[in-house]
Structure 1
Amino acid sequence: MSWHKGFRTAPPKYRPVAVVDIGSNSVRLVVYDGLRRSPTPIFNEKILCGLGRGLATKGRLAEDGVVRALSALRRFRALSRQIGAKHVFAVATAAAREAENGSEFVARAEKALGAGIKLLSGKEEARLAALGVISGIPYADGVVGDLGGGSLELIDIKDGRLREGVTLPLGPLRLMDVSGGSIDKARRIVDEALINSGMLSQLKGRTFYAVGGTWRNLAKLHMAQSHYPLHVLHSYRLARAQAISLSGLVAQLSPASLRDVREVSKSRADTMPYGAMVLERLLAHSGAGGVEVSVYGVREGLLYSKLTSRKRQSDALLSSCWDFARRYARSPEHELELCDWTDQLFGEGKLPETAAQKRLRYAACLLADIGWRAHPDYRAERSLSMISQAAFVGIDHPGRVFLALTVFYRYDGGGEDGDGLNRLLGDEDHQRAHLLSSIFRLAYILSAAMPGKLPDIRLKLGDNRTLILTLPRKLADLAGERVDKRLTGLAAEMGRTGKVVIGR
């Protein structure tokens, strides 16, 4: 199977890389486990410095913000070395590029960090934000909006390609400054800028991909309001009406009232109403079909831009699942064999399967054994939590739940999910999760999770509504009551009768 060509079975090694993002409101360090297709953060720290506070009226970076930022960068330098990051990639955005003392600050910042800092133009910032969304949501089709403290970057993406983008002076810090703290005046400024941007017509009927801490906090608030069972922000979707209602409500709240809301970061209480208002006006002026949150943005886009073309084209989800298999499965080679083995039942002339379903089947195969180290009574629950909460990208929430429930049922065939995740999955996908789990349960009692056996065992749909398991004579002793029971149960799910055959 060409999709796993080049996969290595040794556990993945940590080769940490650090990214420092100097924004208008915050200075952040994120250290990832490597320059890979699906990088996982191993350390993340943010300092809200407010570099851009007062910039719109004074033209200079806030002095207290500069002091705090330089102190943070010296700490980030020490942390990066302590973690062992061989490379430190650093960028500065709207505040540093627009301030009179921006170049002076960048020079001091480079000295404090001990690494070069790239001053991004508005278009470069939009491009990296879009690349970040593409790396985490490969199917993205719409407009990316990256809201920072000083600016809003908008860029159109489709089929993995970027179109022209714009940068608008609509960051919450800037709006607070130029409006004198008046949300009504800020709204008029936003309306004029959005209407003149030329981007709104490109959103009609499409998805708006929201990037930035302010909008992530809005999504967290919506999750809490709707009692959403999966607390994963990446790829969380809000219907158009939901997003307009929520953002309109938050735009009317005072910072004092927002500080009492548990789901909202207290450090963002001042800027949240302005950020919410920008989203509400953007949706009001466009025909966007809905909003999808991306936790990937400029930082991840920067790393993605440094990958080889072959690595960029690899599947983000399957790469992550393969890393899980290499870290947690008894035998990663067995999980690849399981992918091939399940191929015998799906495809043309067999059980129907779309390309998207096939991809999820492979992902489930790679994850099927990650809970084996837990106590037998807790393997199902451990796998459910590991998969549903994993830092996977390249998958929507129903797909994530499908994988989690498939492996949950593989360990607990008769159990029911008690975490409420079932409601995120349709009946057809739920039945498919049960079916795949039954196939896995049969495979593991035949192979004992060790490689080298499944390739010699055949499983096929026979005539007269039968399901035939064929064991070669050298493996005939594997047959027995447990195998008969598992085969009978699997066949019954398909409306068939199980049959064991001993071949040559």
Structure 2
Amino acid sequence: MPGDKTLYESVKTNLGNEKTRCIGAIDIGTNSTHLLVASVATDLHTFSIDLAEKSSTRLGERDPDSGNLTAVAMERVFDALKRFKDLAFSHQVEDLIIVATSAVREAPNGREFVNRLQNELDLNVELVSGAEEARLIYLGVLSGMPFGDRPHLLVDIGGGSTEMVLADGRDAKALTSTRVGAVRLQRDFINNEPIPPERKEFLQTFIQGSLEPAATKIARRMKYGETPVMVATSGTAMAIGAIASEDANPSVLKLHGFKLTKDSLDKIISRLLVLNPEERKKLPSISDRRAEIIVPGALILQTIMEMMKVEEVVLSERALREGLVVDWMFRKGLLEDRFSLQGSIRQRTVLHQAQRFAVNSSRAQRVSSHALALYDDSRGVLHRDKGEGRDLLWAAAMLHACGQHINLSAYHKHSWYLIRHGELLGYSHSEHLMIAAIARYHRKSLPKKRHDAWQALGSKEQRKIVSEMALLLRLSVAVDRRPQPVVASIDVASEENKVTIKLIPEQSTQSLSLEQWSLSNCIPLVKSLTGVELKILLD
């Protein structure tokens, strides 16, 4: 359904209400300048990304003698900011927050460049310190990933610096910034490629020595026996993740939550080291500019994993720019504390998506209530899920009708598309695909091998969960056939090979014959899929 892209975009109709505020954030980095436009849902204390733009401005290519930002590089940034400013305000942002990181803060003429942007473009650019950059990265990652009770080690490999943060869901325990980055290493130490073995060894030693103070600080702040979850963000990590995911699972659409093993990283680095930049540019997973600097960036990540004795890293697509949005929300009183941000990421992101696509929330809540009642009271009969499917079922029930504004007769297919390509924070990539597939198969045809929704699922276990949860959702939707609620609740009684559903009316005088008929139509399907006899009773 690629041709329907503009149609899908047009159904995001309810973002301009009083409960939504629009904010823009720009990050002037060493390698690239990024723009992000976000819609902040003030009632849900969360936000979604409306626009993300990137320009490879290469500000880190400084004068080798003076260390100044070059006129050519500054002009690239200047032109990018002019475009980004127009784009941001075309989205009617109420604030545009702009920060500059290591390349500008270290350059002797960095302040002069910031003043020029203020005078000529009327843009207020804040020079952030390394520690402040690390803090903002922490807030950005925190906004999109549940930390639970475990400490997390956040790593952001930039062009000019690498930030390492030890944190949990409440606060950061250590914020570090080291002047070692992909662009800096490429510029200062790599003259010939493929990199000779002795140069690679030198780079690894240099990286380890540079990062030693940060690693020591983090180790001191960890409790004895703690093993933090390592999370990597930035273009380098995403590029490596893209290569790894292409090898392991080509159907991966988003890298947020993707797990990269140390073994996989080592193999990727071995492949990249024997290629020159032109050969790396032919790799479909990375851009031309990233191909030039990916080797030193990958070596930084590899060295950190070795120093911290970590065997797996989780990728986060949220970082500094999203942290600017979160920080703005704090300053505007839209978040009380960091823990409130973490409290219910999954629930809030699902509710936000339902709001974005104008889902009838009261009906969705009724369907989800019926679905969870069926799940809880038919365990071992209609399904044999061990617990994972319950939350996926709830999310799919809340979003199953999001495609109705596009095409009522085939809305389940459009719901699948919207959910799959939407943003569900706190869910892994596979869980995201499963939620979309549950919504896809809650009505009409059953899964077929040729369906994209079915092919995207990575294992038999995932398909089993989807099939069972989709059946429960199908029954739940069948209970709710009218705009106004008439079924107060359902009582589900299960025994071996038999499930009885009793419909309880909102009012004793109401007839539920329509709902009984609707559910009865599911009896043959339930029998054929599960072998279970389904009986429908009225109170």
Q: After TM superposition, is the score higher than 0.5?
A: yes
Residue 17 of structure 1: which of 23, 39, 48 is its match?
23
CA RMSD of aligned residues (A): 3.1
Tell me the equivalent position of 1:321.
350
Distance change (3 Å), C-alpha of 1:356 and 1:38: farther
| CA distance in structure 1 between the aligned counterparts of 2:393 and 2:47, rounded to whole angstroms | 22
Alignment of 1:493-504 (within 5 A): 496-503=532-539
SS of residue matched to 2:522: helix
1:398 pairs with 2:403: no
Take 1:129 and 1:58, find their aligned partners in 2: how far apart are those partners? 30
- Is the Cα–Cα contact under 8 Å of residues 229 and 421 in structure 1 kept in the other structure? no
TM-superposed CA distance for 1:451, in Å, is 4.1
CA contact 2:142–2:342 (8 Å) conserved in 1: no
Q: How does 1:292-303 map to 2 (within 5 A)?
A: 292-303=314-325
1:485: how far off? Answer: 3.2
- Residue type at the aligned position of 2:50: I
Q: Look up the match of 1:236.
A: 258
| Residue 135 (structure 1) aligned with residue 168 (structure 2) | no
- Amino-acid identity (%): 21
- What residue is the counterpart of 2:464 in the other structure? 431
Q: CA contact under 8 A between 1:337 and 1:451: conserved in structure 2?
A: no
2:185 and 2:95 map into 1 onto residues whose CA distance is: 35
For residues 425-464 of structure 1, the aligned pairs below 5 Å read 427-448=460-481, 450-454=483-487, 456-462=488-494
How far apart are residue 252 of structure 1 and its match? 4.0
C-alpha change, 1:480 and 1:425, in structure 2 (3 Å) is: same
Per-residue deviation at 1:35?
6.1
Residue 68 (str. 1) matches residue 76 (str. 2): yes
1:372 to 404, 409, 413: 404
Cα shift readout 1:135-171 (whole Å, capped 9, x = no counterpart): 1111374311111110010111234532202111111
Q: How far is 1:401 from its partner? A: 1.9
Q: How far, CA to CA, are the matches of 1:181 and 1:449 in structure 2?
A: 70
Moved more, 157-166 or 233-242: 157-166
**Mean Cα displacement is larger for which, 98-107 or 292-301?**
98-107
1:309 aligned partner? 336
- Partner residue in 2 for 1:124: 132
Aligned amino acid, residue 345 of structure 2: A
Secondary structure, counterpart of 1:410 in structure 2? coil
The runs of 5 or more residues in structure 2 that have no matched partner are 1-12, 330-334
Q: What residue is the counterpart of 2:174 in the other structure?
A: 164
Moved more, 393-402 or 225-234: 225-234
CA distance in 2, matches of 1:271, 1:114: 33
1:227–1:395 distance in 2 versus 1, CA, 3 Å:
closer
Residues 1:130 and 1:479: Cα distance change in structure 2 (over 3 Å): closer
Q: Once the two structures are superposed, what CA deviation does each residue of 1:298-352 show, in whole Å capped at 9, x if it has no partner?
A: 0111212333127624533333322333344662210011222223234499678
Alpha-carbon separation, structure 1, partners of 2:403 and 2:442: 10
Bigger shift: residues 142-151 or 482-491 = 482-491
Deviation at 1:113, TM superposition (A): 4.3
Give the whole-Å Cα distance in 2 for the aligned partners of 1:420 and 1:238.
24
* Residue-by-residue CA offset, 1:52-78 (whole Å, 9 max, x unaligned): 223676332222212222232233333
CA spacing shift, 1:488–1:412, aligned 2, 3 Å:
closer
Corresponding residue for residue 4 of structure 1: none
How many pairs does the alignment contain? 493
- Aligned equivalents of 2:238 and 2:163: distance in 1? 16
Output the CA distance in 1 between the equivalents of 2:431 and 2:230. Answer: 20
Q: Deviations over 1:231-270 (max 9, x none)?
A: 2121111222112211342244221111222221112222
- 2:265 aligned with 1:265: no
2:267 to 239, 245, 264: 245
- Verify: 1:485 aligned to 2:521, yes or no: yes
- State which drifts further: 91-100 or 179-188: 179-188
SS of equivalent residue, structure 2 residue 521: helix
- The match for 2:158 is 148
Quick one: which amino acid aligns to residue 502 of structure 1?
L
- AA partner of residue 253 (structure 2): H
* TM-score (structure 1 length as normaliser): 0.87
- Deviation string 1:90-137 (CA, Å, 9 cap, x unpaired) is 111111221212222222223344243221111111111122111111
The answer as to whether partners of 1:230 and 1:388 remain within 8 angstroms in 2 is no
Distance 2:523 2:365 in 1: 21
Match of 1:306, SS state, is helix
Secondary structure of the structure 1 residue equivalent to 2:265? helix
* TM-score, scaled to structure 2: 0.82
